[in-house]
Structure formats: structure tokens, C-alpha cells
Structure 1
């Protein structure tokens, strides 16, 4: 059935293995678990640095886990994102070397976190980022730390939904800043995959009727105005899976101190994710500006 096939491609869990650990990068860490407000168990790592500054990294969706993206086990369409592994522990390493403690976790239905339904492109996953912040704030060693968010693709969608839909986000006085990497709404992603509209519609209908997941309505864009911390937006000019006008609208709707960093990279969606691990200077400069 075409509808099921398209729905599986977009929202089915289980394509995001955890394929390496911080031990490979000689970082001290501990395995952690915490629960969201709706009772989902989230798995992650706490990579240990200074106790007064913490970065929470959230990854992109469906094909990714806390450790990043691996081509192993992926099909042709998934491999079109990038043709080699993208280890997110590379940016964790330079952040940790700069003194940051880094909490990185698998969103629900990804990696080793609890599989509890279907991927919702950030709307339900917002509860995971909220739980991660609460975990830091309740931790005896890190409860007084300043927090920054490194929110990547669906991770930034989850963060944006959280700012708009979770009132507690506005009450975290120690949440200081966010880096938003390649904002992407579901509709633009699907449209730019080049699928015939009848296939897109079939997938959306199946997701809604069979999996109770409606991805055809408003995305996170109405909540951008609710983001309450200084935000750096990073976007590849040559990203083939988005609409740059949508990204520009996201940036325009931010009402906080903000900067836009345009990258001129290869014409692949994941080029910017690969760039992230190899270019520490703009990332460290932004976080150092607000976390001190």
C-alpha cells in the first residue's frame, strides 16, 4: 500500500541506531535515563565538563540518534541525505574540550529511548527537550548551571514547539540561548522530496487515519515568536529539501537577539549537519557570548 509506505518513510521509528559512544573520543560520561511529563523514558549521555555550563543537544529526526547519522542499514532515499556517517560526538568533543558539560539524548521513538508510537516531527518530542532541561535543573551537580540548546532540524522543531506550548520553558531563568540548525517544516520537506502529490496525500491520509498522526496542519512556525532566548540560526544556502523563504520567515519571526549564519555547502540536506562537527569556531563563539 502506497500510503503505508510513505507513512513508514516519514514517521516510522527504528531507523536510528546508537552507533558509537563518547568513549571513542576519550570523554568522561555516564549513561542516563529520565522520564517526560507524559511518562516516556528517554535515554542519553551526560558528558562531563564544568558544572556551571551545560549544552543540551537534540538531533534531527527519523534517521538519526544522539550519536548522529549512520548510512549502515539505510536505503537509497535515506542515503541521499549524506553518503557517510555523521558523528554528532564530534561537536560534543569540541564543546567538552571548551569546558561544557553536554547532555545528549535520543528523542522518543529514536535510538535507545522508549518507542511509544509514531514520530511527530517535533510536536510530541517537545516534551523530551523539556524533560532534559528539568533533568539538568534537578541534578545535584548541575542544578545551578547555565544552559544552552543545540537544536538540530527536528530537534529545533521540538524546541520551538516547547517554547510555544510548554509554559515552563519561559520560567527557566538559567536557559540562556539556542542554536537552531536548519529549521524544517514537514510540508516543505515532503514537497521537496519530489514525490507525486497523490503519494504525499496517500501517506498523509494513512498517517492520520491509521496512526492518529496528523502532519498536514500548522507546524512550529506559529510558535517562533515565543522563543525567549537569543538564537543563532544556521542554514545551508544549497539545501534541496527546504524552502529558504520559510527559513527567512523563521528568522524574521524571532523577537529575541538573533543572528543568521548562511552556509555555502554541497547540495544535500545533511551537509550542514556534517559541517557542524568540523567547524567549532562559530558554535563556541555564540555559546561563549551568553554562557559565562
Structure 2
């Protein structure tokens, strides 16, 4: 069950608005790490704790979950502020931050890996830099995909150089920040994807849009988005124009399945629709998730209704 959102935004003083803008910039620039609370053992999955370098050497931590006799591999990453195991939004401080948008419930990704494993896929899942157990880098900031793109490439290189996996057929399962990072990696390092067969992308988002919706829920006037950007630039050195996933989508050249909660209160349908339209190939599909306004339901869609995404993987990894 999802939590309802508040329809009437509070009225804030200018000083309070400035405090809110600073808090948003701090949390967006360097979100608190979510712990790795769950393990594949909870689903009776054999797994290996692995560590490998990102393209620029940042140590990344993950799990390799083998599927006996399979030559197919899914590499999975996660949204901003999550870890490879999900996010404990039922607990503080995450609950207070996310409950106002209707996302005050836990997301546990372990069932996703069980579904993929049982469908015959080996799975590598890892924490992006500055998340989970992976290393700190770039001053601890989250770059909405610019630096995290190096993690995507590092995971591909690790699997291609590891005994037993180097010849596997690869698909990507990239979520939110992880999907933005994948789009960014395809823009920066297109040669890394020559032998990647397909992508399932869960709820990529343009940072400016999701932050504008956060401001609206907090009662901050829409015209203060420019002030928020200034706070973020002072915090990270990165403005909105450098993190536009809609532009990065123009560099996606592998079969791509995108999924998004249509009425997500933290974004708008036109954002993912534009990304989808900008992908310059015919082998693509956009799935809308209806009946909820909670973004977290989009992350749980695979474990609730895996068939469409599994069919995509089966079509392009067979």
C-alpha cells in the first residue's frame, strides 16, 4: 500500500524557503547512503561478494549471483540514495524525507534478483560510487550520471575480464540514477556498449524536473528553481544543463525498454516520453505504470509484474 500525499502545500517565509533550498541542495548533492540491509541469502540464492574498479579506479562493491549452466548475464544498478539492496524508507531519516511524496515504504530489490536468477540469468549487482559500500569519490557528490557513468563501464569491464563470465551475453537493468548513468556512459564511452544486447531502464529522470516537483510539494514557488540550481552548483559545481538525460538518450543505440509510473508526483510523463522519443532506434518500448502516484511503485513493478521485462530480455539475449 502506498501513502497519500498532501494536496495543499504549506506557505513558507522567505527565510524558510532559503533553508529548504539549501537542504535540498545538500541532500541532492550528497544524499545519505542507504545501508545494504538485505542479502541474496534471504531468497536462498548462492552469491559471491565481489569488488572491482570503476573506469577511474573507484572501488565498487557488489554481488555476483550465478545461474548454473547459463551464458546470459544481467548487470543491475540502482536509484540515487539507494543501495544494491534497496532503500529502508520505512525508517528515519529516509521516511520523513520521502513520505510527503507518498514514498514512505521500503523498496527491497532482492526479489528482483531472485526473479532474474530463476529465469536463467547470472546477475551482477553493484553499488554506485558514494552509495552503499562502494568507495567515495569526486568529493562525495552525486553527479546525476556524469561520474557514475564510469561505474557502468567498470562493471562491464569487470564481467568481460572475469573468468567464467567474459563470453556471456550481456543485458542491463538500470534504475533511475543508474539509468541516467547508463545513458551518460553511452554518450561518453559508446565503444563500451558494442557487445551489450539490450537495456531495461527503470524511471530515468531529468534532475531539474524532479527537483521542481520536490519544491512544489514543499510549498516553494516555482520561480525559486533557479536559486536551487545556484545552491547545487555551489555544492557540486554541476548545473542542470550538464545533466539532461533527455539529451543523453539520443546516444542510446541498443534495444531499450523504459518503464515509468505515469502519474508519479515527482516528475511528469513528458520527461520519460521525450527520452523515449529521442532514442534513435526502432527497437524500443515504453511501459507506463498506472494506478499509483508513488515513484517507489515503479521500482517494485518488476517483482510485481515481471513478464514484460523478462520478455524483453528473452527476446534480445537468446
The normalised TM-score by structure 2 is 0.86
| 1:71-96, Cα deviation, whole Å (9 max, x unpaired) | 22214232335232111111110110
> Structure 2 regions of 5+ residues with no counterpart?
1-17
* Mapping of residues 1-20 of structure 1, within 5 Å: 2=19, 3-20=21-38
Number of the residue aligned with 1:234: 259
Over aligned residues, Cα RMSD in angstroms?
1.8
Alignment partner for residue 180 of structure 2, among 157, 165, 168? 157
Is 1:278 the counterpart of 2:304 in the alignment?
yes
Is 1:211 the counterpart of 2:211 in the alignment?
no
Number of the residue aligned with 1:221: 246
With 7-16 and 202-211 compared, the bigger mean Cα shift is at 202-211
Is 1:196 the counterpart of 2:212 in the alignment?
no
With 231-240 and 6-15 compared, the bigger mean Cα shift is at 6-15
The change in CA–CA distance for 1:153 and 1:275 in structure 2 (over 3 A counts) is: same
Asked if the contact 2:145–2:243 (Cα under 8 Å) also holds between the matched residues in 1, the reply is: no
CA distance in 2, matches of 1:57, 1:238: 25
The change in CA–CA distance for 1:96 and 1:183 in structure 2 (over 3 A counts) is: same
Alignment partner for residue 272 of structure 2, among 247, 263, 286? 247
Number of the residue aligned with 1:84: 105
Number of the residue aligned with 2:7: none
The change in CA–CA distance for 1:11 and 1:271 in structure 2 (over 3 A counts) is: same
CA distance in 2, matches of 1:58, 1:151: 5
2:129 is paired with a residue whose SS is coil
Is 1:137 the counterpart of 2:137 in the alignment?
no
| 1:24-58, Cα deviation, whole Å (9 max, x unpaired) | 11001001111112221111111111441110111
CA distance in 2, matches of 1:37, 1:275: 31
Number of the residue aligned with 1:39: 57
2:240 is paired with a residue whose SS is coil
With 189-198 and 144-153 compared, the bigger mean Cα shift is at 189-198
Number of the residue aligned with 2:8: none
Asked if the contact 2:98–2:104 (Cα under 8 Å) also holds between the matched residues in 1, the reply is: no
* Mapping of residues 168-187 of structure 1, within 5 Å: 168-170=191-193, 172-173=194-195, 175-187=196-208
With 269-278 and 100-109 compared, the bigger mean Cα shift is at 269-278
Higher relative helix content: 2
Number of the residue aligned with 1:261: 287
Is 1:54 the counterpart of 2:80 in the alignment?
no
For these two proteins, the number of residue pairs brought into alignment is: 289
1:168 is paired with a residue whose SS is helix
